[in-house]
Structure 1
């Protein structure tokens, strides 16, 4: 009985493997606006990025050596990565520098703030915001209604939560590629090696 159940179970999920490319496609589609936001801000504000990379920690910077070179490498990685992840081209290869960037962002920018991106209600910053919102509601109800009309205000904690999540998604692309049917990698491999599956 158990053996029969396991056989049915295995057969069911084996058939589902035909659609496993959907998960990889969705990961790529999810990451496109994430990479675009970073790439766009660095391209249009390149000088600001250089200043931030080179400024001292006391001045809110990262205090990195060779800030112009590192800013150029970061910008280039995100621009090329955006194009390749969108096309599913050299997906595994481009995942490596993008994972490195996520690791660097986590360690240099987000790690000092802990895990959470948004401050929890128990954090001092959230309690201060809550106190301010209570004061606003009591003294300026019209302004309170205006501020909360589209949602409740939250306090940014800027932890590593999102950067770690993106790293894991790039890691999945590194191991599994861009997916069948909807990636340039798949069609390149099919054309030049005559095999199905992921590559690059």
Structure 2
């Protein structure tokens, strides 16, 4: 039994040589989300400012200094996208990204509960079910076209995705971008005091 445990420990120790794969995977997973957020904010900046300024009772966020807040949010996502992609200043850029995720989670998603996807008991899902029933009876050919690649869903806009991204960002804060496939790794070899 001792030999088996020793063999297992050696194998686990050797697997640590590939630990950079996990951090690279997190970075790659976050990129499409960061890109979509940054792109939407840059191309729809005036609408973002308006949404930040609009009172909560009218469907907005009711934030003070909406232009400044929109600029900070946009800048954070653009810088986050570039830095996470390159593995550059990774631990540093995760701080404003974590703040942005926290603000988004609390101001936009928290009131919708945990689930990102609405369950079958919500009003939105019941309405979707009614639409699908009507579509199936009224336009059977279109129903098959709509459902052949999977069932339509309704997003609940809950905090689940935001928390998932925040956990990934937290991992990058504590462990950095990883070895070999990050600018931080190579710059730290040239500049020993480089933040990695």
- TM-score for both structures, normalised by structure 1: 0.92
For structure 1, which segment, 24-33 or 132-141, has the greater mean C-alpha deviation from structure 2 after superposition? Answer: 132-141
Query: 114-123 vs 45-54, which deviates more?
Result: 114-123
Quote the Cα distance in structure 1 between the aligned partners of 2:74 and 2:128: 35
Counterpart Cα distance in 1 of 2:139 and 2:18 = 54
**SS of alignment partner, residue 153 of structure 1:** coil
Question: Which 4+ residue blocks in structure 1 deviate beyond 6 angstroms?
Answer: none
- Deviations 1:152-173 (Å, cap 9, x if unpaired)? 2211111111111100000000
Identify the residue that residue 29 of structure 2 maps to in structure 1.
30
Q: How many angstroms does 1:118 deviate by?
A: 1.0
1:73 and 2:72 equivalent? yes
Distance between the aligned counterparts of 1:83 and 1:129, measured in 2?
38
Write the distance in 2 (CA, Å) between the matches of 1:199 and 1:73: 23
Question: Which digits, 9 at most, give the CA deviation of each residue in 1:34-78, with x for residues without a partner?
Answer: 111111111111111000111011211000000000000111111
Q: Which residue of 2 aligns with 1:7?
A: 6
Q: Deviations over 1:74-109 (max 9, x none)?
A: 111111111111110110010111111111111010
**1:17 is the counterpart of 2:12:** no
Please tell me whether the aligned partners of residues 186 and 199 of structure 1 are also in contact (alpha carbons under 8 angstroms): no
TM-score (norm 2): 0.94
Instruction: Give the RMSD, CA atoms, in angstroms.
Output: 1.6
Residue 154 (structure 1) aligns with: 153
Aligned to 1:47: 46
Displacement, 1:193?
Answer: 2.1
Can you give the 5+ residue segments of structure 2 that lack an aligned partner in the other structure?
Answer: none
Q: What is the distance in 1 between the residues matched to 2:149 and 2:18?
A: 38
Distance in 1 between residues matched to 2:191 and 2:151, nearest whole Å: 54
